[in-house]
Chain A
Amino acid sequence: MATASLRTVNSRESLPGGFDPRMLRREFPIFANNPDLVFLDSGASAQKPASVIDRVADYYRTDYANVHRGVYRLSARSTELFEEARVKVRRFLNAADPREIVFVRNTTEAINLVAQSWGPAFLKPGDEVLISVLEHHSNIVPWQLLRDRIGIRLVVAPLDATGGLDVAGFEARLSSRTRLVAITHVANATGAVVPVETIVQLAHRQGAKVLIDGSQAAPRLPVDVQALGCDFYALTGHKVYGPTGIGALYGRWELLSAMPPWQGGGEMILNVTFEKTEYQEPPHRFEAGTPDISGAIGLGAAIDFIEELGRDNILDHEEALTGYGVDRLSHIPGLRLLGAGQRRLGILSFDLEGVHPHDVAQILDQHHVAVRAGHHCAQPLMEWFGLSGTTRASLGVYNDERDIDRLAEAIEAAREMFGR
């Protein structure tokens, strides 16, 4: 293995408490190249620390070859690094075994994998998949495709008046027909934290499996799939400060090992004749073709970065900053923060009276504040709020109170420009 980490750790050593977003920002080259940038769009995609960028470049420079192919040393080393990254993801999620970690492109692909492989193999017409109003389109559409293909029923759990998941309503929609609950951990459009521990218990009591969309949770919360007891957990690399194009699906071994392949090709086979093909065991059964090797290695570096920071520290930081943001934005006249139930994490989604989200985002951009405007791929949730879209600020490890202040000032400028 070549250089372990090119990141300069000396900056952090000087920090009391070990977590200072301003100092941390030095590790993200994007901020050196865009000095005025107030980046509040990590919910769409997080910026990358130098350790991740360098690790990917370094891998191509020193260790690159295809994996699981060659007998030559370079290929063996590349394979070792790739599989090492899988072990890091195992540790990140506290899965029991690295073979329970399948590399995919992103959360969307992870969910589609379950829908297309596990779905037709284990579901029959009339079986129910239970989702919620909070879901991103990527946890809605794959189930609609499955519904249209094999005739399952898609059931949607409601929200309570505060915008959180209505747990009683969820429970009321669970039945012996429910075979899978597919639900987000943290809602991408509002930051609502779903009590997934309770959800898993309720679902398992009815014999339903549980898939958790961890896109927004993985960068913000410690995740322990064994303690949760969930059956599948999906995450994407680019939101945990890793590269784009790589993500991971955790699946319990009993489930993964019983699931048929979903894509055919190289890498996923043991033996092929024109009559019959024997498939690999998981996870390689689900990784047809040359994978995103550098992406996986970059994801491993991102996990190292997060774990060095400390996931409890990150959670403390995100909670404190979310609280500050709620407080700061609530004082802006005409601003309605979208309800996120009992617990909101890392995301501030709002409607500014009389100003369209795209106009808000345009003014914010002029103030170098980068946010997302629109429906956030959660149109049913927007509909629930009676809006076509919102402006969304989402947090990362490099944000601090000053960023929230800059956001608030820019919102005031938008109010001024569009005020009647």
Chain B
Amino acid sequence: MMDLRELYQDIILDHGRHPRNFRAIEQPTHVAQGYNPLCGDRVTVYLSLDGDRIADVAFQGRGCAISTAAASLMTEVLKGKTVEEARVLFAQFHARVTGGEPEELPEPLAEEAERLEPLTGVKAYPARVKCATLSWHALEAALKGGGAGTTVKTEWQDGP
């Protein structure tokens, strides 16, 4: 078994304790809720789009250190990105945490993706992959045009 400190790296513990962009956006253009039926954790992701660009992104909710840190890091990475860049970043992140084949990203996206590296420790802990992807699934649901009432569940989204 790998050392637990590879799962709970300092940056994860820090973002878990002091999540960034942990707030609601007053008038979001997009919002959706992520729900993990396994643990009952919920996260709401708020987006404010300016044209095709993410002007602001924030989240609220109750979750474990991994899911809180993942949401926090996601908001930091996504600010200023286009919707397409967000999609590419999620696809790459998803592949990295589920043991898939991550796509090569062009700079400077590759550098942004690297900031999510501390979260990839979850791939050794299948039960925790959903914690790392919950906020991203909510983001995806929000971008697909979900309203405040949209809830995406992690079940079946990420094996096993």
Contacts and interface: CB of A to CB of B under 8 A. Distances in A.
Interface of A: 355-359, 362-363, 366, 373-375, 379, 382, 388-389, 417-418, 420
B1 A366 contact: yes
Contacts of A359: 8, 16, 64-66
Q: Which of A359, A366, A379 has the most CB of B within 10 A?
A: A359
A147 B40 CA distance: 25
A142 B6 CA distance: 43
6 contacts: A358-B64, A359-B16, A359-B64, A382-B40, A388-B62, A389-B40
A388 B4 contact: no
Nearest to B62: A388
B41 interface: yes
A357 B41 CA distance: 11
Contact of B63 (A355, A356, A373): A356
Nearest to B68: A356
Contacts of B119: none
Nearest to B8: A417
Interface in B1-27: 1, 4, 7-8, 13, 16-17
* Interface SS of chain A: helix
A372 to B, nearest CB: 11
B7 A362 contact: yes
Contacts, number: 48
A340 to B, nearest CB: 21
Interface in B103-146: 125, 128, 131
Nearest to A373: B39
Interface residues of B, number: 20
B8 A356 contact: no
B39 A375 contact: yes
B39 A418 contact: no
Contacts of A420: 17
Contacts of B8: 359, 362, 417
B38 interface: yes
A273 B33 CA distance: 54
A356 B40 contact: no
Contacts of A363: 4
Q: Sorted from nearest, which 9 A-B pairs have the closest CB atoms? A: A356-B64, A358-B64, A388-B40, A366-B4, A359-B65, A375-B40, A374-B39, A359-B64, A389-B40
A413 to B, nearest CB: 9
Contacts of A356: 41, 63-65
A146 to B, nearest CB: 23
Contact of B39 (A355, A358, A366, A417): A358
Nearest to B38: A374
A358 B38 CA distance: 10
Given A358-B64, A359-B66, A362-B128, A374 B13 contact: no
Interface in B43-84: 62-66
A389 B128 contact: no
B28 to A, nearest CB: 24
B66 to A, nearest CB: 7
Given A374-B40, A375-B39, A418 B13 contact: yes
B121 to A, nearest CB: 11
A319 B40 CA distance: 31
A374 B63 CA distance: 11
A375 B62 CA distance: 14
B38 to A, nearest CB: 6
B65 A388 contact: no
A157 B64 CA distance: 32
A389 B7 CA distance: 21
A97 to B, nearest CB: 42
A375 B39 CA distance: 6
Given A358-B128, A362-B4, A362-B7, A418 B65 contact: yes
Contacts of B62: 388
Nearest to B63: A356
A358 B13 contact: no
Nearest to A366: B4
A362 B40 CA distance: 17
A363 B13 CA distance: 13
Contacts of A358: 39, 64, 66, 128, 131
A388 B1 contact: no
A388 B35 CA distance: 12
Contacts of B41: 356, 388
Nearest to A382: B40
Nearest to B17: A420
A360 to B, nearest CB: 9
Contacts of A373: 39
Contact of B125 (A362, A379, A388, A389): A362
Nearest to B42: A388
Contacts of B66: 358-359
Contacts of A366: 1, 4
A355 B41 CA distance: 13
A420 B14 CA distance: 10
